[in-house]
């Protein structure tokens, strides 16, 4: 089966060029000069005239079915990967979970069982370590060597749930330094946050807004700096800060990067577009819809502006979603009367490609930087490149035809995520996902869905190819 994507402008991290993309089976066979490809025969032709052709999006941070706060994230691997496909994302890297007290490999097996046979697009896993001990350190080596899992997430937040202390973090970093893995860090000082949370509740401050107020930016900055220091003590273990939201944390990352260190960070669309004031303005308990950690920040501080700048300078290398959806009814509502019981998370896996394209329209990012932050760098960062993340011969034919003249209106009535609200309700994007190809198969076209569950494959990842 061959496919020719004709007439478009192919965007990669190093530039844009008019080219036709020839796909043979699951792979890209060639990028052709448009005048030459008049003579090429293909079984199927997609007209991309006036449109961009980009590599399928890679969302390196999702939580399908994550058990959290007495409930579980509302997208299954089936619904979540289908929504991702609708939005131009053709690969996710989800977080498998070792719960505290559980054998790492058992946690991984449980995650494979959830995903296998259910995914609409290709998927890989990071591993959350819920308890660093000698067995977990050995398991890290085994996962890198045998399972294609080359990144491990640790938490400086959530004492009693996922939390690791500094000694545990240092040991995991030393192990990663040896086996080449990436340490991913949820950098918030959870011990101090828990004190602030208890004090707020004791004062009767129970509304959703106190979630953000009790997680101040200073405690993200402090934890980020501490993680960076610990990574330096571990002989420059590769470190990736997840869901970075605060200017001060970004400064700490930038400083380490200016020293030439293997310190990287991602941000998420919610920190670029949504603010604490949006949450404060919501009536009644509805602010719970925007409860996530790290929290939304105040528009009266320069965080969002600085994050866009960080994306331009590569101090922020990746945009992921931290897709962790909960319905308002019965899930977010668990926190009525006590904000600390609101399950943390925002669903957005469907909207990342569009929301960051809006940054191009708004003059925040170049087209090339859009593609780099949503596809190419995540692939390189997490050992999927060049199979994924680039429109080039030999790579998987994961393509998005993006229409800069289209419009997308985000809302609960039209989204495909399993959520009863949208955190971005009413947002309009000056662009539109037109066609999505996953390993040579057209899965979204003309506003219709042609994929099916189970077609997505598990990807074994290599080590990061992004290290300096
Ligand atoms: N943050 C969230 O918002 N949800 C899940 C876990 C996390 O760290
Ligand atoms: Zn986190
Ligand atoms: Zn710099
Ligand atoms: Zn997360």
The encoded tokens of residue 343 equal 């399950």
- Whole-number Å distance between alpha carbons of 88 and 449: 12
Cα-to-centroid distance, 345 and ligand 1 (Å): 5
Question: Cβ atoms within 10 A of the Cβ of 438, count?
Answer: 27
The encoded tokens of residue 346 equal 């925002």
pLDDT of residue 460: 98
Substitution site in 64, 68, 220, 290 for ligand 1 pocket (most atoms within 8 Å of beta carbon): 68
Substitution site in 94, 335, 345, 423 for ligand 1 pocket (most atoms within 8 Å of beta carbon): 345
With a 6 Å cutoff on the Cβ, whether 63 touches ligand 1 is yes
pLDDT band at 38 (very low <50, low <70, confident <90, very high): confident
Residue nearest to atom 8 of ligand 1 (CA): 293
Mean pLDDT of 112-138: 97
Mean pLDDT of 442-449: 96
Q: Name residues whose C-beta falls within 8 Å of residue 385's C-beta, 6 or more positions apart in sequence.
A: 376, 379, 465
The overall average pLDDT reported for the chain is 97
- 68 CA: nearest ligand 1 atom: 5
Cα-to-centroid distance, 266 and ligand 4 (Å): 11
What digits encode the pLDDT tens for the residues 157-196?
A: 999 899 999 999 999 999 999 999 999 999 999 999 999 9
Residue 271 pLDDT > 90, yes or no?
Answer: yes
- Whole-number Å distance between alpha carbons of 24 and 43: 10
Mean pLDDT of 199-204: 98
- Whole-number Å distance between alpha carbons of 56 and 78: 18
Cα-to-centroid distance, 375 and ligand 3 (Å): 22
Q: Name residues whose C-beta falls within 8 Å of residue 425's C-beta, 6 or more positions apart in sequence.
A: 410, 411, 412
- Whole-number Å distance between alpha carbons of 295 and 301: 14
pLDDT band at 37 (very low <50, low <70, confident <90, very high): confident
What digits encode the pLDDT tens for the residues 303-354?
A: 999 999 999 999 999 999 999 999 999 999 999 999 999 999 999 999 999 9
Share above pLDDT 70 across residues of the chain, in percent, rounded to a whole number: 100
The encoded tokens of residue 356 equal 């960051």
- Whole-number Å distance between alpha carbons of 267 and 244: 5
With a 6 Å cutoff on the Cβ, whether 6 touches ligand 1 is no
Substitution site in 97, 208, 324 for ligand 1 pocket (most atoms within 8 Å of beta carbon): 324
Rg of the chain over CA atoms, in angstroms? 21
pLDDT of residue 258: 98
CA atoms lying within 13 Å on the CB side of residue 199: 9
Share above pLDDT 90 across residues of the chain, in percent, rounded to a whole number: 97
Mean pLDDT of 138-153: 98
Give one DSSP letter per residue of 161-204, joined into a string. TTB--HHHHHHHHHHHHHHTPEEEEE---HHHHHHHHHHHHHTT
Residue 36 pLDDT > 90, yes or no?
Answer: no
Q: Which residue's structure tokens are 């965080």?
A: 303
Helices assigned H by DSSP within 94-246: 104-115, 134-142, 166-179, 190-202, 209-213, 217-233
- Whole-number Å distance between alpha carbons of 383 and 405: 34
| Nearest-ligand number for the alpha carbon of 256 | 3
pLDDT of residue 213: 97
What digits encode the pLDDT tens for the residues 48-86?
A: 999 999 999 999 999 999 999 899 999 999 999 999 999
- 345 CA: nearest ligand 1 atom: 3
- Whole-number Å distance between alpha carbons of 120 and 85: 7
- 190-202 vs 217-233: helix axis angle to the nearest 10? 160
pLDDT band at 277 (very low <50, low <70, confident <90, very high): very high
Q: Name residues whose C-beta falls within 8 Å of residue 185's C-beta, 6 or more positions apart in sequence.
A: 153, 154, 155, 156, 169, 223, 224, 227, 239, 240, 241, 242
The encoded tokens of residue 226 equal 């501490």
Kind and range of the H or E run holding 253: helix 247-258
Mean pLDDT of 246-262: 98
Kind and range of the H or E run holding 361: helix 352-361
Helix (H/G/I), strand (E/B), else coil: 4: strand
pTM of the model: 0.98
With a 6 Å cutoff on the Cβ, whether 294 touches ligand 1 is no
Cα-to-centroid distance, 260 and ligand 3 (Å): 9
Residue nearest to atom 4 of ligand 1 (CA): 345
- 346 CA: nearest ligand 1 atom: 3
* ipTM confidence: 0.92
| Nearest-ligand number for the alpha carbon of 184 | 2
What digits encode the pLDDT tens for the residues 102-120?
A: 999 999 999 999 999 999 9
pLDDT of residue 100: 87
């Amino acid at each position: 089966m061959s496919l020719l994507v004709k007439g478009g402008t192919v965007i990669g991290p190093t530039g844009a060029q008019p080219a036709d993309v020839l796909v043979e089976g699951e792979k890209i066979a060639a990028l052709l000069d448009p005048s030459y490809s008049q003579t090429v025969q293909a079984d199927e032709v997609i007209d991309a005239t006036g449109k961009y052709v980009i590599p399928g999006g890679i969302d390196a941070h999702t939580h399908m079915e994550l058990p959290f706060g007495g409930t579980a994230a509302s997208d299954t691997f089936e619904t979540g990967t289908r929504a991702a496909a609708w939005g131009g994302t053709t690969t996710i890297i989800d977080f498998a979970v070792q719960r505290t007290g559980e054998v790492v490999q058992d946690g991984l097996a449980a995650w494979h069982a959830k995903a296998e046979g259910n995914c609409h697009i290709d998927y890989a896993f990071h591993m959350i370590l819920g308890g660093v001990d000698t067995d977990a350190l050995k398991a890290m080596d085994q996962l890198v060597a045998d399972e294609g899992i080359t990144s491990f997430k640790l938490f400086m937040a959530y004492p009693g749930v996922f939390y690791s202390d500094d000694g545990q973090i240092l040991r995991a970093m030393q192990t990663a330094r040896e086996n080449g893995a990436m340490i991913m860090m949820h950098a918030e000082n959870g011990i101090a946050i828990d004190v602030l949370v208890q004090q707020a509740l004791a004062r009767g401050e129970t509304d959703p807004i106190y979630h953000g107020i009790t997680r101040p930016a200073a405690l993200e900055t402090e934890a980020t700096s501490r993680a960076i220091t610990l990574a330096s003590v571990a002989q420059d273990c590769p470190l990736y800060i997840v869901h970075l939201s605060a200017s001060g944390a970004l400064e700490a990352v930038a400083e380490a990067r200016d020293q030439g260190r293997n310190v990287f960070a991602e941000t998420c669309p919610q920190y670029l577009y949504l603010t604490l004031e949006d949450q404060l303005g919501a009536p009644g308990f509805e602010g719970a819809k925007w409860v996530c950690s790290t929290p939304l920040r105040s528009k009266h501080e320069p965080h969002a502006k600085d994050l866009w700048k960080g994306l331009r300078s590569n101090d922020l290398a990746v945009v992921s979603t931290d897709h962790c959806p909960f319905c308002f009814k019965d899930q977010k509502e668990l926190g009525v009367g006590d904000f600390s019981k609101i399950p943390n998370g925002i669903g957005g896996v469907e909207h990342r490609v569009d929301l960051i394209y809006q940054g191009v329209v708004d003059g925040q990012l170049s087209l090339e930087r859009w593609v780099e932050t949503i596809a190419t760098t995540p692939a390189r960062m997490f050992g999927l490149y060049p199979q994924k993340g680039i429109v080039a011969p030999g790579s998987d034919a994961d393509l998005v035809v993006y229409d800069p003249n289209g419009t997308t209106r985000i809302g609960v009535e039209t989204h495909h995520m399993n959520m009863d609200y949208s955190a971005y309700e009413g947002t309009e994007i000056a662009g539109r996902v037109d066609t999505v190809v996953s390993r040579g198969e057209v899965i979204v076209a003309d506003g219709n869905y042609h994929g099916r569950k189970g077609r997505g494959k598990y990807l074994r990842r290599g080590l990061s190819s992004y290290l300096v």
